[in-house]
A and B are shown apart, each in its own frame.
Chain A
Amino acid sequence: MSTAVAPQPPVADDTVIERTVLADRSRSWWHLPATLTVLALAAMVFFGLRAKAGASTTFGLAEKAALNPGKIIPETVTVPTGPATIVLTALCLAIAAFFWWAQWANVALRPLVRIGLLALFALLWVLGFLTWASAGSETMSIGSLLQTTIVLAVPLAFGAQAGVLSERSGVINMAIEGQLLFGAFGAALVSSLVGGALGPWAGLVAAPLMALVIGALLALFAVGYQVQQIIVGVVLNVFAVGLTSFFFGTVMRQNPERFNTASVLPHWRIPILADLPVIGRVLFDQNILVYLMWIIVAALTVAMFRTRWGLRVRAVGEHPRAADTVGIDVNRTRWTNVLLGSAVAGLGGATLTIGTNVAFGEDMSAGKGYIALAAMILGRYHPAGALAAALLFAFADATQLKLSAVSAGGGGIPSDVLLMLPYIVTLFAVAGVVGRVRVPAADGVPYVKQ
């Protein structure tokens, strides 16, 4: 590992400045490069060197019907498994080496460069993994992989936005799970009751309203009665699972046609753009919930960091007393944000039922709320970051699904081990890449006016 450390640059005028900064190099400077190196080396050894000799991997890029003038993007790409994986992981190692140098010399990278490089690392690593895992089996369609990713990412992204909304104002939202579940329940129930083509739309309205119940309870106990917020969140999740399962086991089971039928929101296909190869279907042929997700993330990013409202929310989350002094109603801001957040999470819940044409099932959120929470922290309490983290988890999950379908060929990894993949990725991400996240200073601290 130490070989990757570049020698100290020769002394020139401006390096003097850099060396004074060098003394301030944080003690954890080696965490990120070390993690990257371990990951890259592991990939190289396990995927590259252990690949079957002579095996090849085929990726499907464009579909036949796609808008693809002159076949710019080939329909399939076939690469020899071993060499391709080794090249990809070697590139990963190069990025890791660059980070060794940058962190060691304490070069301040621009955030965009840093994130871009990390994203590139992740992409190369995953490509290496996919190359290895789908070797010899049928074509690995990138388009459908991304499509699954989006479907899985939407509830996580909505949940994570809910977390951002309430935690930026200083209320820990452990109840995302419950909000998702209530949203899913409300959407399924109301859309079945209304029925017909209008059903899903009614469900779309009902989901956020239903999730508001959990949000209101959270705000009542956490803000109103200043109960320890993590406790309220955990207990509300139990409450939500219990209540929805109770109605699922009684009312819905007694009369499923009336109370719990599967229905789905229509896909809105944007002409021409939806025909683009690889990304066309993923970005431009989705239901309204997916488009809403992009809009909400963009709107929230602007609102949180570029508007007066956002400044106030952040002030309440960082230093409620100061915010109070300048006339901001702290507890009202928190109430609004928790409610707003729960409504957003409710939309995520709607994705689970009317977004994917599935009837409500017992405990159908299955821990997604907690993963959304992890995505929010991984995304550093930033709407866009949270979305990126949600996409990362969803991608890991989609890969897992895809590979367990073709697992007989490929790497032959048992499906249960593949199922661990998203969680192991999270562990690494949380420990190595993210480390200490700066939490809103007053997060979790009830505010009592003096």
Chain B
Amino acid sequence: MSAAPSASAPAEGAAAPAGTGLLGGGAPADAPASERSLADRIVRGDVLVVVLAFVFAFLIGSALIIVADEDVRAAAGYFFARPQDTLGAAWTAITEAYAAMFRGAIFDYQARTPARAIKPLTETLTIATPLIIAACGMAVGFRAGLFNIGGTGQLITGAMAAAYIGFTVDLPPVLHLLVALVAGVAAGAIWGGIAGFLKARFGANEVITTIMLNWIAVNGLNYALKTTAFTGANKSQPVSPAVADTAALPQILGPQFRLHLGIVFAIGAIVFLWWLMNRSAIGFRFRAVGSNPRAAEVAGIDVGRSAIGVMVTAGALVGLAGAVHLLGTEHKLTGGIAGSVGFDAITVALLGRSGPIGILLAGLLFAALGTGGRFMETTQGVPLDLVQVIQALVVLFIAAPPLVRSLVGLGGVDRPGTARKRRARRRTEATDVATAEATAAEPSATTGSTAVAETDAEDTTPAAPAARPAEGENA
């Protein structure tokens, strides 16, 4: 935990390389291709790691399904008499669970009508919408070296503001929606901005403040749902009235699907993230602070103001996610409006390495696992929590490619004589400012970050020739 804004390690670590997607990171494309054999490149490549990460995660998930299945345990009681019973029961349990997951997430091949068959896919997209937007907000923080855990709180305030505008104010159709969305964005921005302000002004650790703000928002929401201002006439139920039709996001595939216009906002958020971080001056400052706060300060960037800016931007995006979720999917404000989106968004941003494409893919993946898991829970009785375990395992495995490679006996790649050059950059000389700027300006360079995949860094260091001379220890 670093309370001090200077040279904070998480700051550097979380700042993943710009523009790298799910498969980005250590893609050996920049390395001198002729020097490496094709096999070597495949082994080192991220595609293999990602595939293997999923294989291992689902294998462990299968083990859990077996342990939890009553038929399997019953058959295991007489395992030595008839082992095929146990194995058969285990196979049935696993395949049925994963088949249900697929049917619930992407395409229901047992459905009677085509509309029902593709409903799971639209459902996945609906769930993915707030997840992707919120993950974009999280990514802004990570890239700028701030660890924003406050997704839940920002989501709740965003949803609350949007809902309030949605069911109290009377406005013409398009304007009403816009005002409600803006209210959500503003509320999220304020909630995030509080943490940013406390960080900038008092040096309060953003991890703590955002967690506390989460709880304050959760309890504030529960309180609000007991007041007539939010519940309207129906005071006994902790539910708000539905937002007016003029404020609801239109459904784009007709009333039988829940998919709504919010998906466009999700794509917009992705583009905004890309533009902000890779094309704008503000984003450049955010990234400079993220990769090396000391150097950024020396270069004349106001680190404190940057912290506020980052948290306001992150909060605004997460607030938008809350508003979109409420105006598009839920329509009514309830105590559980935020669900686990606030925390899932963190994992999505991490899995997507805070890059636009990565977040898009990771968000769709998490949403698919979530909707599939829910279907699996209702049809097969396998708890949804299995999905959480699989999600966590995927992120863990992808974060440590050497572990994955060594599990399949390819560990040798990670233990040649190559020295590991990564270490914390904490120098204040002016040359380092140039380095930091070069790092920040060079989107494909991982130099400034202890990237998620630590050892991948050695693959990409040649991509930053500008930074190289300044790094004394680069062999």
User: A225 near B454 (CB under 8 angstroms)?
Assistant: yes
Task: Determine whether B434 belongs to the interface, using a CB cutoff of 8 Å to chain A.
Answer: no
Q: Pick from B1, B70, B395: contact of A167, CB below 8 A.
A: B1
| Interface residues of chain B: helix, strand, loop or mixed (majority) | helix
User: B396 near A235 (CB under 8 angstroms)?
Assistant: yes
Task: Determine whether B207 belongs to the interface, using a CB cutoff of 8 Å to chain A.
Answer: yes
Q: Which residues of A contact B149 (CB under 8 A)?
A: 234, 370
Q: Pick from B10, B420, B423: contact of A228, CB below 8 A.
A: B10
Q: Pick from B213, B395, B402, B450: contact of A427, CB below 8 A.
A: B213
User: B209 near A431 (CB under 8 angstroms)?
Assistant: yes
User: A377 near B350 (CB under 8 angstroms)?
Assistant: no
7 interchain pairs (CB within 8 A)? A227-B400, A370-B149, A423-B213, A424-B212, A426-B212, A427-B198, A430-B212
Give CA–CA (A417, B222) in the complex, Å. Answer: 9
Q: How many residues of B contact A (CB 8 A)?
A: 67
Chain A residues within 8 Å of B, Cβ to Cβ: 28, 31, 167, 172, 174, 217, 220-221, 225-232, 234-236, 238-239, 241-243, 245-247, 249-251, 254, 367, 370-371, 373-374, 376-378, 414, 416-417, 419-420, 422-424, 426-427, 430-432, 434-439, 442-446, 448, 450
Task: Determine whether B242 belongs to the interface, using a CB cutoff of 8 Å to chain A.
Answer: no
In the assembled complex, the CB of A27 is this many whole angstroms from the nearest CB of chain B, namely 11
User: B388 near A436 (CB under 8 angstroms)?
Assistant: no
Give CA–CA (A230, B149) in the complex, Å. Answer: 11
Q: Pick from B205, B215, B383: contact of A377, CB below 8 A.
A: B205
A416 in contact with B209 given A31-B202, A221-B400 (CB within 8 Å): no
In the assembled complex, the CB of B159 is this many whole angstroms from the nearest CB of chain A, namely 17
User: A374 near B208 (CB under 8 angstroms)?
Assistant: yes
Task: Determine whether B267 belongs to the interface, using a CB cutoff of 8 Å to chain A.
Answer: no
Q: Which residues of B contact A436 (CB under 8 A)?
A: 3-4, 202-203
Closest to B450 in A: A228
Closest to B473 in A: A450
A438 in contact with B386 given A228-B452, A417-B223 (CB within 8 Å): no
User: A423 near B215 (CB under 8 angstroms)?
Assistant: yes
Q: Which residues of A contact B382 (CB under 8 A)?
A: 250
A251 in contact with B202 given A228-B399, A235-B395, A448-B423 (CB within 8 Å): no
Task: Determine whether B444 belongs to the interface, using a CB cutoff of 8 Å to chain A.
Answer: no
B387-427 interface bits toward A, Cβ cutoff 8 Å, 1 = contact, 0 = none? 11101110110011011000000000000000110111000
User: B208 near A227 (CB under 8 angstroms)?
Assistant: no
A221 in contact with B399 given A243-B385, A444-B9 (CB within 8 Å): yes
User: B388 near A241 (CB under 8 angstroms)?
Assistant: yes
User: A373 near B383 (CB under 8 angstroms)?
Assistant: no
In the assembled complex, the CB of A372 is this many whole angstroms from the nearest CB of chain B, namely 11
Chain B residues within 8 Å of A, Cβ to Cβ: 1-4, 8-10, 13-14, 64, 67-70, 147, 149, 198, 201-205, 207-209, 211-213, 215-216, 219-220, 222-223, 226, 343, 346-347, 350, 382-383, 385-389, 391-393, 395-396, 399-400, 402-403, 419-420, 422-424, 450-455, 473
Top 10 nearest A-B pairs (CB, nearest first) are A242-B388, A250-B68, A444-B9, A416-B223, A249-B383, A436-B203, A239-B392, A228-B13, A245-B385, A242-B389
Give CA–CA (A450, B14) in the complex, Å. Answer: 23
In the assembled complex, the CB of B6 is this many whole angstroms from the nearest CB of chain A, namely 10
In the assembled complex, the CB of A370 is this many whole angstroms from the nearest CB of chain B, namely 5
Q: Pick from A225, A231, A437: contact of B350, CB below 8 A.
A: A231
User: B68 near A251 (CB under 8 angstroms)?
Assistant: yes
User: A439 near B346 (CB under 8 angstroms)?
Assistant: no
Give CA–CA (A426, B420) in the complex, Å. Answer: 41
User: B343 near A238 (CB under 8 angstroms)?
Assistant: yes
Q: Pick from B3, B14, B215: contact of A367, CB below 8 A.
A: B215
A431 in contact with B346 given A367-B215, A417-B223 (CB within 8 Å): no
User: A377 near B202 (CB under 8 angstroms)?
Assistant: no
User: A238 near B209 (CB under 8 angstroms)?
Assistant: no
Give CA–CA (A249, B388) in the complex, Å. Answer: 13
User: A230 near B14 (CB under 8 angstroms)?
Assistant: yes
A444 in contact with B203 given A242-B389, A377-B208, A439-B1 (CB within 8 Å): no
Q: Pick from A174, A246, A376, A439: contact of B64, CB below 8 A.
A: A246
Q: Which residues of A contact B202 (CB under 8 A)?
A: 28, 31, 430-432, 435-436
Interface centre among A221, A241, A414, A420 (most CB of B within 10 A): A420
Sample of 18 more A-B contacts, CB < 8 Å, known A235-B347, A420-B216, A439-B2: A217-B396, A225-B454, A226-B450, A231-B13, A232-B396, A238-B392, A241-B385, A242-B389, A245-B383, A247-B68, A250-B382, A377-B3, A420-B219, A423-B216, A430-B204, A430-B212, A432-B202, A443-B9
Give CA–CA (A414, B223) in the complex, Å. Answer: 8
Q: Which residues of A contact B399 (CB under 8 A)?
A: 221, 225, 227-228, 231-232, 235
In the assembled complex, the CB of B105 is this many whole angstroms from the nearest CB of chain A, namely 17
